[in-house]
Amino acid sequence: MSNKVVVLGPTKGNIKSKIDDKTIKELNSYAKNYKELELFYVDTSQSIEKVIEQCKNALVIFPTTIFPEITFIAEKIPSLKLIQTFSAGTDWLDKIKLSELGVDVANNNGANAVAVAEHAINLMFSVNRKLDQQITSVKNGQWMDDVKGDIEEFHTLVGKRIGIIGLGRIGSRVAKRLHGWECELVYYDNLVLETKYVQDSGAKYLELHELLETSDIITIHVPLDRSTKHMISKNEFKLMKKTAIFINTCRGPVVDEKAMIEALLNNEIFAAGLDVTEIEPIEKDNPLLKMENVIITPHLATRAIESQKNAYENSLKNATRIVKGEKPQSIIKAV
């Protein structure tokens, strides 16, 4: 059986996940411990014909970023068994078609779960205390003068009900960390969860409507697929408290952004903290950018050296399982 693993991505352009000398050096340093594998780096900036030729006989592909042509490539490489992402999200991959080709898709097995959980809590705290305004005001030489809002708009997290939608690898870690903030934790999930996630979280289950109606802060942690696209829309925002803060660090399209903008403009909810938007990069005329009660970060919740290390190690371990004829972990269901 082949032991060829292709790391697939662009070598040019301003893309944080491009294949450059640093990426190659770092990934090769981890791969030294996986002698069963032979890594090849293929530049997606070249013609698709050259990409296919260089991917020939590959057993596993590691895409470093979104590459829509990857299904077409898979059709041309009968040896391919696994597409292994460094990220948690696999929504851009046609998993149904790939499954028909005999190709599994696996994500990073929670490699960035801690970083995203920490970022979600960071957004909760930042929105509650308007940290973005405080930092900007000082840097602009205005000390506290540019910080808007009455004292009633500034809150601690103590005693607040935090509603967690999706209690998997990330949501359960959010809950576990918030125990130290003396919060009341509730969750909703439409999946049958592993017992450890529920036990570790210490959160109480509520139906979605009750969670939305009663939570002070709502944070969502679900994968993006056909069942979760726009799962939070106009009706869901209308259920929330007028004082509610909405946090999204998973994927932009799980939220109907137009409905969220309306809810914010109509004071149906108090504020939002976002690491993701429906269109990325966010369009310059997006109304969210002008709202003082919205904090947006550029989809970098995962960005931590620990996340990268975990993702590389997980990917190499899964590729080794394929080479050995074993079943890979963290396979994503084709839906």
Q: Which one from 69, 280, 283, 292 is the annotated catalytic residue?
A: 280
Cβ contacts of 119 within 8 Å, gap of 6 or more: 249, 275, 297, 301, 302
SS3 label, residue 179: helix
In whole angstroms, give the CA distance from residue 219 to residue 187. 10
**How far from chain centre, in Å, is Cα 90?**
10
> Is 173 one of the annotated active-site residues of the chain?
no
Instruction: Sort strands 204-205 and 184-188 into parallel, antiparallel or unpaired.
Output: parallel
Element containing residue 60 per DSSP (H, E): strand 60-63
Q: Which one from 119, 161, 173, 251 is the annotated catalytic residue?
A: 251
In whole angstroms, give the CA distance from residue 257 to residue 263. 10
Sequence-ordered strand ranges (E) for 159-305: 161-165, 184-188, 204-205, 217-220, 245-248, 271-274, 294-296
> Is 299 one of the annotated active-site residues of the chain?
yes
**Residue located via tokens 């411990």:** 33
**Secondary structure letter of residue 61 according to DSSP:** E
> Is 155 one of the annotated active-site residues of the chain?
no
48: which 2 tokens?
A: 């698709």
Hey, what amino acid is at 241? K
Annotated active-site positions, please? 251, 280, 299
